[in-house]
Chains A and B, each alone.
Chain A
Amino acid sequence: MQGSISLSFSTPAISRSDPARFLVAGVGVTPEGVSFSRLQGQALRFCVRKFAGVGRSPHLVSSRKLCKKTLAAVTDNGSTGKGFDYDLVIIGAGVGGHGAALHAVEKGLKTAIIEGDVIGGTCVNRGCVPSKALLAVSGRMHELQSEDHLKSMGLQVLNHSYDRQGVADHANNLASKIRSNLTNSLKALGVDILTGVGTIVGTQKVKYGKVGTVDKEVTAKDILIATGSVPFVPNGIEVDGKTVFTSDQALKLEWVPEWIAIVGSGYIGLEFSDVYTALGSEVTFVEALDQLMPGFDPEIGKLAQRILINPRKIDFHTGVFAKKITPAREGKPVQIELIDAKTKEPKDMLEVDAALIATGRAPFTKGLGLESVNVTTQRGFVPVDERMQVIDTNGNPVPHLYCIGDANGKMMLAHAASAQGISVIETICGKVHVLNHLSIPAACFTHPEISMVGLTEPQAREKAEKEGFEVFVAKTSFKANTKALAENEGEGLAKLIYRPDNGEILGVHILGLHAADLIHEASNAIAMGTRIQDIKFAVHAHPTLSEVLDELFKAAKVTAGISRSVDEPVAV
């Protein structure tokens, strides 16, 4: 699905205005024959994707047929049966809602998306996307700052500095670009964008509107909640947006404090520590649990601390809560009162220039009108079953109402929301689908990156104990990888947690150069149920970083034999 999204990102302008070039793309539709109506534009795009998936020119004819079919299906959707305005109304146009909308259209559903803020949601506007822009800068800064590293490759950089506004603009421009791509792709697909705050007013009925306008009501066969989340700010912390702020404001990079406290050492906090240290700030972590990076596999967390924390201008307080944070005012710095997380005794007091609150995210589900369908949120999260169908107060599924993404809290990641959305569309189209969350990878874009999929070692061992199987761990170091050494980036570790009896991959954790890109071989294997004894025969180009995973698979000791191999041997 992601593949298709990016495809449409890169081509929307071309496909709508430049038929000749579109032809070149190999679709085989003559320019004269195309009228660039919205619907056809969208049908064409399907062709592109399917075509790409199906094969090369010999299949041109069949792909044309496919086009026609799709076109027909889409045209049919112009009118929904049974008296509904839409087949599907999605509340929230973040990555989850967008992914669901794309898949819904592909499945021939007449779809509308309600957005009260900006298209793209948190990820695109205040999350993953702008932060990647900042991290792209910080990666280069860290490289430039590491003179030894450069010197050992024979490079000499005499001077380096950055322009804060330039960095901030880069992040902002990236967000706008992705936002307009997203908006265009929705429009191009013929998804109706309804502006306003969506509220459920009853079964299959949603109203939406902005302050000061009259609310409109629409009906839909199915409703999908994808309202996402907002930064969570614990009680006692006063956010002024200037010296005490959340990721929302930090991403605008309005200033670079000399000393910033980051409350919370999860993904968000860690990524920001990478950014801020690159830009010259000193960082103090405040973590409530006894260990930094509590969500990570302990071994990876330990190594991450050695690579990402200890050598940098970072210190930390663990096992403490920030009980009270007062923004800087009247010539006083930001003040942070720390108390022991267990005994609640006052522990310490920090005086810093700024504080970033990265204590996680809270679901954004207020005012959704869930009470009208007898649903109570749990700590704000919308309760759902394994198919993302919303569950009411009595524990029964609410018909025609689904919730995906941060709002249900199952796995608060943009791509998880998107995957859940696709799963829901499959289900409402009659093909019940249950998403395997253990196959969803996660990544933290520090330098080097951290990525993971499946269980951590302690989780795997616990499960093994319960279910009575054995767990083995294979590890490999980036120091053993030629490409990593060529880049002079040998720091890093990859570990594979697996069952030796049947070769099942339980989890993979990577810390090292481009770890976020490397994880997908493992996550795909988990999603497809590929076993180690099979995948170890797959070939990796040499020298590449992907050989880190190759090494892992080859290092695994599986007792089971090869379960399946290439269907037919191909002689060359």
Chain B
Amino acid sequence: MAGALQLHLGSSFLPSSSHLKLRRRIFAATAPLRRHPTESKIREIFMPALSSTMTEGKIVSWVKSEGDKLSKGESVVVVESDKADMDVETFYDGYLAAIMVDEGGIATVGSAIALLAETEEEIPLAKSKASSSSSAHPEEASSPPVSPQESAIATEASPPRPGKADLTLASSAHPASDAGRRIVATPYAKKLARDLKVELQSVVGTGPMGRIVAKDVEAATDGAASVAITAPITSATKAVADSTPKVPVELGSVVPFTAMQGAVSRNMVESLAAPTFRVGYTITTNSLDELYKKIKSKGVTMTALLAKATAMALTKHPVINCSCRDGKSFTYNSSINIAVAVAIDGGLITPVLQEADKVDIYSLSRKWKELVDKARAKQLQPLEYNSGTFTLSNLGMFGVDRFDAILPPGTGAIMAVGAAQPTVVATKDGRIGVKNQMQVNVTADHRIIYGADLAAFLQTLAKIIEDPKDLTF
């Protein structure tokens, strides 16, 4: 298993991706407005259905900007449907508090694209809601989940943040910026920075005369992502040495969060609202490895196998596929959608294998490949990354044998998968043998999922993986 898993990981899970991903999807899934009665005056502006055949719409342009006052009937946004471009008007007076889908973004009909605050005072509140409920920006990687121990590390040691500090220092010295007073960035670099939510102040320009060009912005997003991910790695493996930024930070200085780091911080805090607990299990993977070897040539991937096994286990334990939206009820999701974390060009995203329990393994593998390709091309549609009901995260490729993931708000459980490793075990007949074993560790919301539920689920999962013939139907 270890070998196979690693192989697979190398190709489609870029190292360092792991968990960052999980989060964003999660936030998209939250519906925060209804949870807080105090925010009743903040209204969502939805993507309207402009024609009978329209399923999603593209934001052509925002006629109003954040903070603008709106009167009923005024046009706020221009939306492109499959048929035409239309101005969309507001039905209420108020202030455009937060834009959740930027120009060029695509949103499904009925999904929130902006928040409307009734009074000016509510704008900051709405903004914070908007930033935590995320939107159609898979690539922005603004909400990487960091598990508790990781965040502890991040706060203790300042080096994990150096990317940023270093960049700031460098940029203040670059020649085009007039000793740091000005930012010189090309039009495309600016556009990219806007799309990728990169602060240009923190980017080193390497273009002519030290100006910031597009590839600098791209490099900066990679940098930001790696900063965020170095934390988990530090706790786990050898990768530490390589990925720990070598650039010295100015000791004694206080470096403010970038927008992305701010979002991470907010989301981490929000995740504390769910009382979580963890249950681990060791699963023998020899049979799965064999199966994988057999059907690999037919395009089947290990990710698809794991997702399929998880989905099949979930069919028998619907409560694990639940979420707790309001603290008072179980929301039983109608389909089993497995979200899997992937790193793409330094960005992070959780492509979702929808109805993984119903789709056969070959189709599922093809679907996975398609999703990864789309994710790389940044063409995932919102449904393809924010509709997960259960999340898989994997750090096995680093040799991590066990870890613990933070539960993405809006879902019930997340499973952290470690590397499968040859292990000396006592076999049933009293002998000593070597088997490939991997450890999985599920974090779940204890309001809806209890210890026995998780244990039963893990037992089912282990049975499926250890006797995987059902995976291929």
Binding site for B on A (CB under 8 A): 258-259, 282-284, 306, 310-311, 313-315, 332-333, 349, 351, 353, 477, 479
Contacts and interface: CB of A to CB of B under 8 A. Distances in A.
Interface string B202-213: 000001110100
A258 B209 CA distance: 12
Closest 8 A-B residue pairs measured CB to CB? Answer: A315-B187, A313-B188, A282-B186, A282-B187, A282-B188, A259-B186, A333-B209, A313-B187
A315 B191 contact: yes
A284 B187 CA distance: 6
Say what secondary structure dominates the interface of chain A. strand
B176 interface: yes
B103 interface: yes
Contacts of A353: 208
B186 A479 contact: no
22 contacts: A258-B186, A258-B208, A259-B187, A259-B211, A282-B187, A282-B188, A306-B60, A306-B61, A306-B78, A310-B104, A311-B104, A313-B188, A314-B187, A315-B190, A315-B191, A332-B209, A333-B209, A349-B178, A349-B182, A351-B209, A479-B83, A479-B84
B184 interface: yes
Contacts of B207: 258
Contacts of B182: 349
A315 B214 CA distance: 13
Given A310-B103, A477-B84, A479-B83, A351 B187 contact: no
Most chain B Cβ neighbours within 10 Å, of A311, A333, A351:
A351
A313 B176 contact: no
B187 A283 contact: yes
A258 B189 CA distance: 12
Nearest to A284: B187
Most chain B Cβ neighbours within 10 Å, of A259, A310, A314:
A259
B187 A333 contact: no
A277 to B, nearest CB: 9
Given A306-B61, A349-B182, A313 B208 contact: no
Contacts of A313: 186-188, 191
Contacts of B209: 332-333, 351
Contacts of A349: 178, 182
Contact of B208 (A306, A311, A315, A333): A333
Nearest to A258: B208
Contacts of B191: 313, 315
Interface residues of B, number: 21
Interface in B84-143: 84-85, 103-104
A314 B190 CA distance: 9
A353 B83 CA distance: 41
Most chain A Cβ neighbours within 10 Å, of B182, B184, B188, B190:
B188
Contacts of B176: 333, 351
A143 B267 CA distance: 42
B178 to A, nearest CB: 8
Contacts of B188: 282, 313
Nearest to B211: A351
A522 to B, nearest CB: 22
A290 to B, nearest CB: 15
A485 to B, nearest CB: 11
A314 B187 CA distance: 5
Given A258-B186, A258-B207, A314-B187, 6 more contacts: A282-B188, A313-B186, A315-B190, A349-B182, A351-B211, A353-B208
A381 to B, nearest CB: 35
Most chain A Cβ neighbours within 10 Å, of B103, B186, B208:
B186
B84 A351 contact: no
Contacts of A351: 176, 184, 209, 211
A301 to B, nearest CB: 13
Nearest to B177: A351
A69 B416 CA distance: 97
Contacts of A306: 60-61, 78
Contacts of A283: 187
B58 to A, nearest CB: 11
Interface string B189-228: 0110000000000000001110100000000000000000
Nearest to A348: B182
Contacts of B78: 306
Contacts of A258: 186, 207-208
Interface in B47-105: 60-61, 78, 83-85, 103-104
A553 B103 CA distance: 33
Contacts of A284: 187
A310 B186 CA distance: 14
Nearest to B190: A315
B64 to A, nearest CB: 14
Nearest to B81: A479
Contacts of A282: 186-188
A467 B344 CA distance: 63
Nearest to A316: B187
Contacts of B187: 259, 282-284, 313-315
B215 to A, nearest CB: 12
A318 B209 CA distance: 25
A537 B238 CA distance: 79
Contacts of A479: 83-84
A477 B50 CA distance: 15
B416 to A, nearest CB: 37
Nearest to A333: B209
Contacts of A477: 84-85
Contacts of B190: 315
A332 B211 CA distance: 12
Contacts of A314: 187
A115 B190 CA distance: 48
A332 B208 CA distance: 10
A306 B188 CA distance: 15
Nearest to B184: A351
A283 B182 CA distance: 19
Nearest to A353: B208
A536 B196 CA distance: 49
Contacts of A310: 61, 103-104
A188 B211 CA distance: 56
Contacts of B85: 477
B378 to A, nearest CB: 12
A353 B176 CA distance: 12
Contacts of B208: 258, 333, 353
B88 to A, nearest CB: 15
A306 B78 CA distance: 11
Nearest to B181: A349
A61 B184 CA distance: 74
A337 to B, nearest CB: 12
B82 to A, nearest CB: 9
Contacts of B103: 310
Nearest to B210: A351
Contacts of B211: 259, 351
A449 B48 CA distance: 31
Contacts of A315: 187, 190-191
Nearest to B103: A310
Contacts of B84: 477, 479
A311 B195 CA distance: 12
A261 to B, nearest CB: 10
A327 B359 CA distance: 64
Contacts of B184: 351
B46 to A, nearest CB: 22
Interface in B369-425: none
